[in-house]
Amino acid sequence: MPIDFFGLFFLGLGPGIAFFIVLIARKSFLVLLALFSAFLWLVVLLFISAIFRAFVPLSSTIGPYTGMLAASVFIEEAVRFGTWWLHRVTLNTLDNMARASGHRFGLLDKLYMAVAWGYGHGACHAVFFFLSLLPLTTGDGTLYVGTCPQMSVFLVGALYSLAFGMILTSLTVIAFDGYMSRSYLVVAAVALLHWGAAFLTLLNFQQDGCLVAMPVLVALGLLLTGYTVALCWKKGKVAR
């Protein structure tokens, strides 16, 4: 039904779209960077899917999915380090261009770029895992799984999209700050948080596990977003 479609659309994607309009869309370079990041992560997700295609269908037990998630997060964290390298190369290029034109490329601009990298990662996950399922909500019925009769598959997907949009965007900003300051503890914490968030989705295999997993993931996303805002505010004050 249309009301289901639009309700789930605005729940899962609305905050991300609003964030894009308010922050990213203000600068064309950030828009291009976010689009490039989303395309890069789409390639990564397709690559991961191709790797595990040979093992499909997976057993309906939790073990194979645990291994798949562990390997997927490892690959994504490796790619995140690669995006940091691209980010650093881009910063050096922009710094040189700014100096040549007599302008200054400040710390706040660098933080905006880190946000754009992270936004592309979160947006790609939303499209890959949620938006592709959304057209199915226009039918006459909905879909539930036996272990989670309280929430439809589409509602779980919307909450997943909302939570991981915040989590992945925030973790990229935090990781880039850790790389820049050479704080390996921060980098390790980012990887562990990413694994932890991914493994929380395995609670959906347990009876009524979605009632725990989805609120905790959304709360984690809000907590990381708050930390990231505080981090950017602190860095921005230093930059001034």
DSSP sequence for 54-96? TTPSPPSSHHHHHHHHHHHHHHHHHHHHHHHHHHHHHHHHHHH
**N residues, the chain:** 240
The whole-number pLDDT of residue 171 equals: 97
What is the residue range of 52's domain?
2-239
Q: Look up residue 53 and give its two tokens.
A: 């295609």
The whole-number pLDDT of residue 144 equals: 77
Mean pLDDT of the chain: 88
**Taking Cα atoms as reference points, which of 130, 166, 149 lies closest to residue 204?**
149
At position 236, the amino acid (one-letter code) is G
| Tokens 């980012």, residue located | 190
The whole-number pLDDT of residue 102 equals: 61
Question: Can you give the pTM of this predicted structure?
Answer: 0.91
Model confidence pLDDT, tens digit, residues 180-195: 888 989 999 999 999 9
Residue 94 predicted with pLDDT over 80: no
210-239 and 184-200 helices, crossing angle to 10°: 150
Domain count of the fold of the chain: 1
Point out the least confidently predicted range of 143-152, 199-208, 221-230.
143-152
C-alpha dihedral, 38 to 42 to 48 to 51, nearest 10°: -160
